[in-house]
Amino acid sequence: MEFVKEFATFLHQNEVIKFGDFTLSSGKNSSYYVDLRLVSSFPHQFRKMIKNLQDLISEEIGFDNFDTLASVPTGGLVIASALAIETVKPLIYVRTKPKEYGTSKSIEGKTHQGMKVLMIDDVATTGGSVVNSIKLLKEAGIVVTDAYVIIDRLEGAEKLLESVGVKMHQLTDIIEITNSLHEKNLVSDEVLKKIQSQVAQN
């Protein structure tokens, strides 16, 4: 996919993806770090990413198959908001913890029993936070069958989402990105091997 090759180069050149030794929020060690929140600082590239996500959703499941977009703050919500504007779809989001004042809601936005939502997030790692959000939506009588992410780190999210009856789709994944960078001699054989072995361990 032409966009992915161009996107991979952009991510690398602007240090959205960094290779080295990192500790993730989960406490796990990783040979790379990706911070997609930086992409919105580059409006042309951000718009291109959103348009490509929109095209992928149109091709694979179609926008008629759900009523509303749903996401989780903060990374995924920025992407879902832009997508909602482009597609003129309603948007709701799930708080990681209920607000401690007012209505104490976990789900923000207009919902009703049986509504169909499409889950959007930025990066999929283990899938834990998205699955927690999906469970809250389902408890509220909301139907979730599909989720889309920009980058899959290939660390088990797909399987975990499958366990709650949700199919995960992605614009690209870490292997595809690293392969593309390796082909352009932007990362070494050593970096490629490190990423491949990290993914193989999951």
Q: List the domain boundaries for the chain.
A: 2-193
Residue-wise pLDDT tens digits, 158-173: 999 999 999 999 999 9
Residue-wise pLDDT tens digits, 34-65: 999 999 999 999 999 999 999 999 999 999 99
Q: Which CATH number fits domain 2-193: 3.40.50.2020, 3.20.20.370, 3.90.1150.10, 3.30.70.1020?
A: 3.40.50.2020
User: What is the SS3 assignment for 140?
Assistant: coil
Residues 181, 40: Cα–Cα separation, whole Å: 21
Residue-wise pLDDT tens digits, 131-150: 999 999 999 999 999 999 99
Rounded to two decimals, the pTM is: 0.93
What angle (nearest 5°) sits at the alpha carbon of residue 10, between those of residues 27 and 59? 90
* Cα-only R_g, the chain: 17
